[in-house]
Homo-oligomer: A and B are copies of this chain.
């Protein structure tokens, strides 16, 4: 310590963008993570905890924040570095480390490898209100399963998980899309050259990130980012993808497909289907007539259930996407996967009220190759400016068939989801689903410093009986401070034993919950005969406290 003497005192501050979690916050998160892990486990997933530190080369560069230092990660150089492996970094997600772990242990791990993981990840982002640079994720992934049944399963598990932690059915939807459909759209629009997809890689990233901001920036903001770029409120200019207007328009038609169908239908009672699109699929019969379909559309609009409405919109969206990408092989393949996922899920009871096909879901991360999905909470909250809005996304994921290949050279299909733990906790908080502040410990006060061993014996007896208890260990001089401490700890009971009590073989028990109630009540009548403090025999201490806590 002496070395520090001449220096100014260090500041007691969490670094900017970091925060600490206290007591109930930690317990609530743990409770939620335990519930999530139980669902993941039930689905056959195994725990993995990889190291927080990875080599920069193993992490790769997939973060949206390309303009940040080290492209968004916290990195440093190894001092004893050998050539080629000299930069280390904190993981920015749990997916890139999984790819590394699987590639490293592929001969020992089962295939498919189903793993779940939970823990902090770090992003070197610009700190801002509510934006933290360390946060928890809770992921489940299946590596080595190429079938979209694996994607469908993750979507089903995501729905089950949300319900397990306390989000009720009707308060969430899982939105599904497919990157291949987007690639098909870009191919059709002439943006992407199917013979050399790598040519457009950087621009494709800008397009993805632009679409991913639809929530925040709205249609016009995204359109600007697809074109020349956009000035934000602070005056900063974000360079756009530089698409000509006609190309940008095709992308906009794609990502707004569901919204456009909904608006038109709600206005006109009509949905434009691709010519020849099997209306029978929707009507569920083999005989179909345009007029019957048209009637049904209006019926559902005017008196359909939520599920019927969403099912119709799924149907219409797929029809529109099919019109858009029919000339693109990859686009139609993506559309096929999308419908297969929805069909598999519907067969298991995850219908359109929970599984929604939504082209505006693309996910910002660069590594997705097929299905992408997002869990959105649909109930309303007030934002920081008091405006009512939907709660929004709490989880997302997708298929990333090339991530393991980076290491091994061999294609290994993989898909998985990441739950934004803090967002989901905030949602549970908004819904009043979190366990309340736990009751504090029983406090044994210190009337007489020399009797410390006896006070310690009392708490030992209480703890042996499973009752949370402690001796007051601050300066005991001021008895009022001891009671203030008990109050701050939310203690249910304080125990008092001075030399007088000790001689008589008794202790005083102070019911702090009752005491607080009495203090709040104007008339004391009802509390008569229920004194907040009473004397019991020392030998009855544990039994009496047990009785009070059970009451």
Q: Please give the residue numbers on chain A whose beta carbons come within 8 Å of chain B beta carbons, in ascending order.
A: 1-5, 9-15, 18-23, 25-27, 30, 41-44, 46-55, 57-58, 60-61, 69-70, 74-76, 78-80, 85, 88, 90, 100-101, 103-105, 110-112, 114, 120, 122, 124, 126, 133-134, 142, 144-147, 149-150, 152-153, 156, 160, 197-198, 201-202, 343-344, 347-349, 366-367, 402, 406-409, 440-441, 452-454, 456-457, 460, 463, 466, 468-475, 485, 488-489
A148's nearest neighbour on chain B, judged by CB, is: B452
CA distance A407 to B14 in the complex (A): 13
Enumerate chain B residues within 8 angstroms of A348, measured Cβ to Cβ: 453, 456-457, 460
- Contact check, A149 vs B347: say whether CB atoms are below 8 A apart: no
A11-B55, A22-B46 known, 14 other contacts, Cβ within 8 Å: A3-B201, A10-B55, A10-B57, A10-B60, A11-B407, A44-B441, A52-B120, A52-B134, A53-B122, A69-B79, A69-B80, A156-B460, A343-B453, A348-B460
- Contact check, A463 vs B201: say whether CB atoms are below 8 A apart: no
Enumerate chain B residues within 8 angstroms of A156, measured Cβ to Cβ: 456, 460
A104's nearest neighbour on chain B, judged by CB, is: B12
A472's nearest neighbour on chain B, judged by CB, is: B112
7 CB-based A-B contacts, threshold 8 Å: A1-B402, A9-B406, A14-B50, A25-B49, A42-B466, A52-B52, A149-B452
Enumerate chain B residues within 8 angstroms of A202, measured Cβ to Cβ: 3
- Contact check, B20 vs A50: say whether CB atoms are below 8 A apart: yes
- Contact check, A468 vs B149: say whether CB atoms are below 8 A apart: no
CA distance A202 to B48 in the complex (A): 42
CB proximity of A344 to chain B, nearest CB, Å: 5
- Contact check, A2 vs B74: say whether CB atoms are below 8 A apart: no
Q: Out of B4, B25, B100, which one reaches A406, CB within 8 Å?
A: B4
Taking each of A21, A343, A474, which has the highest tally of chain B beta carbons within 10 Å of its own beta carbon? A474
